[in-house]
């Protein structure tokens, strides 16, 4: 049977549509999200133990639905640098806003967690996921851990929603060298309790500080940040706190009671802020 050019074109177009539909080609979902995080933390520097809950509010601002969300814990990248058991930031449970336990999968040695929602997150809808976590903080390696002086550096300990871009979910393993983080800015609200002998510094704005029964409770808010970062140290006194040279950052002035400049300088560098030792 012979076909005209027009008929051949129509048949070819029909076959292309059928193949595309069956193969799922061009069917990548159009997803985008807005996120904010509320973190409640208890830090025991002497025992090197931290327990916390993190509630992530995820708003689907895309045009498609999803039943799966991916989260990174970038701090777990550093535990591979040590031959010890501690250092793993472990997720113990995940619940939705109704208290329902959700199924989740630990992947890439704890750097990635896949969470299956109870029902699809439709466009315009939001979901709140609460993660219960704990960690035995290891010796300082690179940016994360406890230094020889007992200072505690805690970057990248919180869960962060993975990026969804033109290639879909960005869940490829992190490179061995460099930071490797890829994520959107989000708002963080942090409440952290520590023994009152310890002073905290954070890359967010301090909202309050109260001490009771030997425990000091700090609250911070960090808006539009890639991460919330905490530095805890003993034997320091906070002298001054005012806007720094960089927008959205803080200037921390500390006076070390034992060894001037040691952990203080490292802490400021770690936080990415500037200051003068007095």
- Number of domain units in the chain: 2
Residue 126 has pLDDT above 70, yes or no: yes
Average pLDDT, the chain: 77
Residue 43 has pLDDT above 80, yes or no: yes
In a domain, 18, yes or no: no
Residue 28 has pLDDT above 80, yes or no: no
How would residue 271 be classed by pLDDT, with cut points 50, 70 and 90?
low
In a domain, 270, yes or no: yes
Residue 261 has pLDDT above 50, yes or no: no
Q: Are residues 38 and 140 in the same domain?
A: yes
How would residue 236 be classed by pLDDT, with cut points 50, 70 and 90?
low
Task: Write the CB contacts of 185 (distance below 8 Å, at least 6 apart in sequence).
Answer: 224, 225, 226
Cα distance between residue 103 and residue 113, in whole Å: 10
Over residues 71-114, the pLDDT tens digits come to: 999 888 776 444 444 568 899 999 999 999 999 999 988 899 99
- pLDDT at position 278 is 38
In a domain, 55, yes or no: yes
Residue 39 has pLDDT above 90, yes or no: yes
- pLDDT at position 189 is 97
Q: Are residues 221 and 239 in the same domain?
A: no
In a domain, 8, yes or no: no
| 229 vs 15, more confident | 229
In a domain, 16, yes or no: no
Residue 188 has pLDDT above 60, yes or no: yes
Cα distance between residue 214 and residue 258, in whole Å: 22
Average pLDDT over residues 221-247: 67
Over residues 240-255, the pLDDT tens digits come to: 554 433 222 333 433 3
Q: Are residues 61 and 79 in the same domain?
A: yes
- pLDDT at position 156 is 84
Domain that holds residue 240: 235-278
- pLDDT at position 199 is 83
Q: Are residues 80 and 143 in the same domain?
A: yes
The answer to whether the CB of 189 falls within 8 A of the CB of 255 is no
In a domain, 4, yes or no: no
Average pLDDT over residues 135-143: 82
Average pLDDT over residues 188-212: 91
Q: Are residues 274 and 248 in the same domain?
A: yes
How would residue 258 be classed by pLDDT, with cut points 50, 70 and 90?
very low
- pLDDT at position 262 is 42
Average pLDDT over residues 60-79: 90
Q: What is the pTM of this model?
A: 0.77
Average pLDDT over residues 139-168: 85
- pLDDT at position 216 is 96
| E-assigned strand segments in the chain | 33-44, 49-60, 66-72, 90-95, 103-107, 112-121, 126-136, 145-146, 152-154, 160-161, 164-165, 168-169, 186-195, 198-202, 205-212, 215-225, 230-234, 236-243, 250-256
Q: Are residues 71 and 43 in the same domain?
A: yes
Enumerate helices (H) and strands (E) in the chain, giving the number of each: 2, 19
Q: What is the DSSP letter of 124?
A: T
């Amino acid at each position: 049977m012979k076909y005209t050019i027009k008929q051949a074109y129509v048949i070819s177009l029909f076959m292309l549509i059928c193949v595309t539909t069956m193969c799922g080609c061009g069917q990548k979902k159009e997803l985008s999200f807005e996120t904010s995080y509320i973190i409640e933390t208890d830090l025991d520097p002497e025992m090197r133990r931290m327990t916390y809950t993190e509630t992530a509010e995820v708003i689907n601002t895309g045009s498609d639905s999803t039943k799966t969300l991916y989260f990174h814990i970038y701090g777990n990248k550093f535990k591979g640098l040590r031959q010890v058991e501690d250092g793993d930031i472990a997720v113990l449970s995940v619940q939705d806003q109704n208290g329902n336990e959700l199924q989740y999968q630990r992947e890439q040695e704890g750097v990635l967690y896949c969470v299956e929602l109870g029902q699809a997150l439709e466009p315009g809808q939001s979901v709140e996921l609460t993660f219960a976590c704990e960690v035995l903080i290891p010796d300082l390696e690179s940016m994360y851990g406890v230094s020889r002086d007992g200072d505690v550096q805690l970057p990248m300990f919180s869960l962060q929603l993975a990026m969804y871009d033109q290639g879909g979910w960005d869940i490829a393993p992190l490179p061995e060298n460099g930071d490797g983080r890829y994520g959107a800015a989000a708002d963080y609200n942090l409440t952290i309790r520590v023994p009152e002998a310890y002073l905290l510094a954070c890359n967010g704005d301090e909202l309050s500080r109260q001490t009771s029964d030997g425990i000091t409770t700090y609250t911070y808010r960090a808006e539009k940040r890639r991460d919330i970062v905490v530095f805890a140290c003993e034997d320091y006194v906070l002298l001054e706190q005012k806007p720094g040279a960089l927008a959205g950052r803080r200037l921390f002035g500390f006076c070390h009671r034992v060894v001037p400049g040691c952990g203080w300088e490292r802490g400021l560098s770690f936080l990415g802020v500037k200051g003068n030792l007095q």
